[in-house]
A and B are shown apart, each in its own frame.
Chain A
Amino acid sequence: MKVKVKVWRQKNASDKGGFKEYEVLTDPDSSFLEMIDVLNQDLLNKKEDPVAFDHDCREGICGACSMYINGQPHGPSKGTTTCQLHMRSFKDGDSITIEPWRAAAFPVIKDLVVDRTAFDRIIQAGGYISVNTGVTVDANAVPIEKEKADEAFKAAACIGCGACVAACKNASAMLFVSAKVSHLALLPQGAPEADIRAAKMLGQMDKEGFGSCTNTQACEAMCPKEISITHIARLNRQFFKSGFTASDQS
């Protein structure tokens, strides 16, 4: 099958960038990234610069891939990362537009590659339980309700790809932040720091230039791991309960 792709090309952070069109011969069993591999091989054969894009595990778990496909983060398939999307989701002759995440807090590095270190800094602000190696009790000393553990796991399944930010018209990182806050607050081990954690992570989120949440729910709809927005509600409760304000804590 043959597709026409319109790809964002931008040499580096200071370059203005723009779309370029290419035709790619691919097949329905190829993954979307393998289609870009073919395009890049064509470009290399012509001694041109290949399209830069972040990717690593190619099995939907590392969270590296980060592109809009026809305006949707990770493309048309629900609950699917770009690397797990296959060309059979498209038709012969289709035009496909590919862009990097658009958010002030995720500046473009080159082509489809963006800088997501803001997410790392949000975790560094408080997305952990303060425990040193070796200073622990037996793993079964504290039983945890299965339901709570399962709920914590669902929140912890976030892959940190940034699709929630890319999907949000305000470029808010609330789904990302709330997934981590929820994961840890649901567990007894994470409870002692739950309030301050929420305040610190939100404070960092503001500092990084992410927007605020206006409940459009676009983040949940586009999340490749289908993380629920109920975590945002839990985060808000946690935060109000904390008595902190985001600007207090950084």
Chain B
Amino acid sequence: MQLDSKIPEGDLADKWTKYKSKVKLVSPANKRRIEVIVIGSGLAGASAAASMAEMGYKVKCFCFQDSPRRAHSIAAQGGINAAKNYQNDGDSVFRLFYDTIKGGDFRSREANVHRLAEVSASIIDQCVAQGVPFAREYGGLLANRSFGGVQVSRTFYASGQTGQQLLLGAYSALSRQIAKGQVEMFNRHEMLDVVMIDGKARGIISRELITGKIDRHFGHAVVLASGGYGNVFFLSTNAMGSNVTAAWKAHKRGALMANPCFTQIHPTCIPVAGEHQSKLTLMSESLRNDGRVWVPKKKEDCNKDPRQIKEEDRDYYLERIYPAFGNLVPRDVASRAAKYMVDEGRGVGKTGVAVYLDFSDAIKRLGKHVIEERYSNLFEMYQRITDENPYEQPMRIYPAVHYTMGGLWVDYELSTNIPGLYAIGEANFSDHGANRLGASALMQGLADGYFVLPYTIGNYLSNDIRVDAIPTSHPAFDKAEQAVKERINKLMSIQGDLSVDHFHKKLGKIMWDKCGMSRHGDGLRQAQKEIAELREEFWSNVFVPGSDSEFNPELEKAGRVADFLELGELMVLDALTREESCGGHFREEYRTPEGEADRRDDLFTFVSAWKHTAVGQEAELVKEELEFNNVELKVRSYK
């Protein structure tokens, strides 16, 4: 199988402009006849659905939440990057492009990333026009702050609730189109299969979550904006409902899954408190600007009150190992270092699985009021969850799964290898390589939805103007619906002894221990075996109560965990075959003599795209070689 990334010819900076000027258009009269299905209503899904509806397409948008406004983009805190250069600090499209490529450890596609940087400025214009209340200076102009891994201030923000404000902007645009009848919205619906006709994606099978009714929907094209799959780890900063199901169904229908093992583990999260922990809460990266990370030098000090531990008995390990960047090393580096401290037995707190993030020096230097001004909402959140006051004692933090860079393989047009099936936002793999920079997820979601997909999808749909809506009585719909129903029946009929969560937690532990912050060939091979066994046990001993024709959250979860049990195995296979360390993927066997990541450009400068074969059978690897013509591949060093 050959992959065509469809990157336009010409200079990097001209590709998108040229593409747009040549892309085929669909006339207004024809747009009215064309139906597009969008799965998900987060930043990518809501912005795409609204924009395409404004252009005149008939859009159907689906979300599993009770309202499109609750998609998990809402929880993003820090901000959104854009190459506006409002601070006159030398920012430019090229710099944003370069920072993103370098931050991704040179495992993403130049042309896509450059386009992302190009459209970034328009996103801010769009959001302001919609009424997004970004932070402003006293002069009335927009404020910026800086984020990890860059030397300019290009991050726009709305307090610690940037994701919420951007999503509500996209949601309002979507609501306007719903009111106009251009978008038909399906809340509390879950997509359970893609319907393929003559090799093209032509619709979906969905389940109404309240009644359990299975429905068929036709679309000339299907857009997946269904988010990331961090919940394969059970504990993550993702919302409880975030899942891989839509993307995974597409994968099983032939769409390739790219770099699935590239997971971002965020260094500053509130640690696990006990066995009933259901999810983890992020503490914004901005805290590392003023907080110092440390653990005790001696193991016997780990249970002491941190305030009683003398300065000379503390190990500020990031400052010690990485004097040049200190506490502001990138996310992957900071996370791994915390893990090593805990592995050495120097972790702190009741569980011993945490490190300190200490603000006492900053409070002494700047005064408590300055720290309050900068971080009060985060400090309050920390105190609410832990019952500890971070003004008086150091925070306890530990890394947690936060974002997945991997996802469905897409070309320059954001199309998967299945004609008519698109993937945008976190659901695709394209822009962040092996590590995503802070404040870039919001940028990518909105870039894809507002400014990229609405153009590129026209190139496909322009060939479809003579295709009438296919009736959902078509045999392909029969077949897909049948398969969906069979799977549900199977889940309902097992009536075993163990809950869905039991299996999800077990899978999460395998993934976290063996395919988490650092990975080793031996552990990965063991994980393959364990996941296969767990999957078998799941299908023979899971318990789903109630019936399939009612509101049944356990049944929803069961279907999602069943998919995670297949995805987990693919992630492990991907991690096993990528015999190098890059970004969030750290193979213990591949490190430099100083213990840092050993990226092996001569062997692994490619995208691993996986083709599904059969459950329990190894997927087939298809490589897309990455070419770098505009940047030099460098070793990231933070010492």
Contacts and interface: CB of A to CB of B under 8 A. Distances in A.
Interface of A: 11-12, 26-31, 33-34, 37-38, 41, 44-45, 47-50, 52, 54-64, 77, 80, 84, 86, 88, 109-110, 113, 115-117, 119-120, 123-125, 127-140, 142-146, 149-150, 152-153, 156-157, 159-160, 183-184, 187, 189-190
B126 A134 contact: yes
A143 B545 CA distance: 57
A136 B241 CA distance: 35
Contacts of B133: 149-150, 152-153, 156, 183, 187
Given A137-B129, A143-B139, A58 B69 contact: no
12 contacts: A31-B278, A34-B278, A56-B72, A59-B381, A62-B74, A133-B126, A133-B173, A139-B125, A145-B136, A153-B165, A160-B67, A184-B131
A186 B499 CA distance: 50
Contacts of B253: none
Given A48-B545, A58-B239, A133-B50, A128 B175 contact: yes
Contacts of B164: 61, 157, 159
Contacts of B50: 133
Given A34-B277, A41-B499, A139-B125, A59 B75 contact: yes
A153 B75 contact: no
B268 interface: no
Interface string B124-152: 11111111011111111110000000000
Given A137-B129, A160-B67, A50 B136 contact: no
A139 B124 contact: yes
Contacts of B68: 120
Contacts of A86: 384-385, 387
A214 to B, nearest CB: 27
Interface in B466-506: 499, 501
Contacts of A59: 75, 279, 281-282, 381
Interface string B532-574: 0000000000010110001101100000000000000000000
Given A59-B75, A86-B385, A138-B125, 15 more contacts: A37-B276, A37-B501, A50-B553, A54-B66, A56-B240, A58-B240, A84-B384, A127-B172, A128-B131, A133-B47, A136-B125, A139-B127, A149-B135, A160-B69, A183-B133
A30 B276 contact: yes
B393 interface: no
A131 B129 contact: yes
Given A44-B554, A133-B126, A146-B138, A128 B276 contact: no
Most buried by B among A61, A127, A137, A189: A61
B65 A56 contact: yes
B543 A129 contact: no
Contacts of B282: 59
Contacts, number: 219
B273 interface: yes
A211 to B, nearest CB: 21
Contacts of A29: 273-274, 386-387
Most buried by A among B72, B125, B277, B501: B125
Contact of A183 (B72, B131, B276, B451): B131
Contacts of A33: 278
A36 B140 CA distance: 46
Nearest to B187: A117
B95 to A, nearest CB: 19
A168 to B, nearest CB: 20
Interface string B55-94: 0000000000111111010110000000010100000000
Contacts of A149: 133-136, 140
Interface in B177-213: 178-179, 185, 187, 210
Nearest to A157: B161
Contacts of B451: 133-134
Contacts of B381: 59-60, 84
Interface in B143-176: 158-159, 161, 163-165, 168, 171-173, 175-176
Interface string B370-381: 000000000001
Contact of A137 (B125, B135, B158): B125
Contacts of B159: 153
A124 B176 contact: yes
A122 to B, nearest CB: 9
Interface in B238-255: 239-241
B122 interface: yes
Contacts of A113: 551
B530 interface: no
A48 to B, nearest CB: 7
A60 B239 CA distance: 11
Contacts of A50: 545, 553-554
A129 B131 CA distance: 7
Nearest to A144: B140
Contacts of A117: 66-67, 187
A116 B67 contact: yes
Interface string B446-472: 000011001000000000000000000
Given A62-B70, A64-B66, A149-B136, A125 B274 contact: no
Nearest to B554: A50
Contact of A189 (B128, B178, B241, B554): B128
Contact of A47 (B84, B131, B545): B545
B499 to A, nearest CB: 5
A128 B67 contact: no
A60 to B, nearest CB: 8
B349 to A, nearest CB: 11
B624 interface: no
A56 B124 contact: no
Contacts of A156: 131, 133, 158, 165, 168
B315 interface: no
A80 B175 contact: no
B301 interface: no
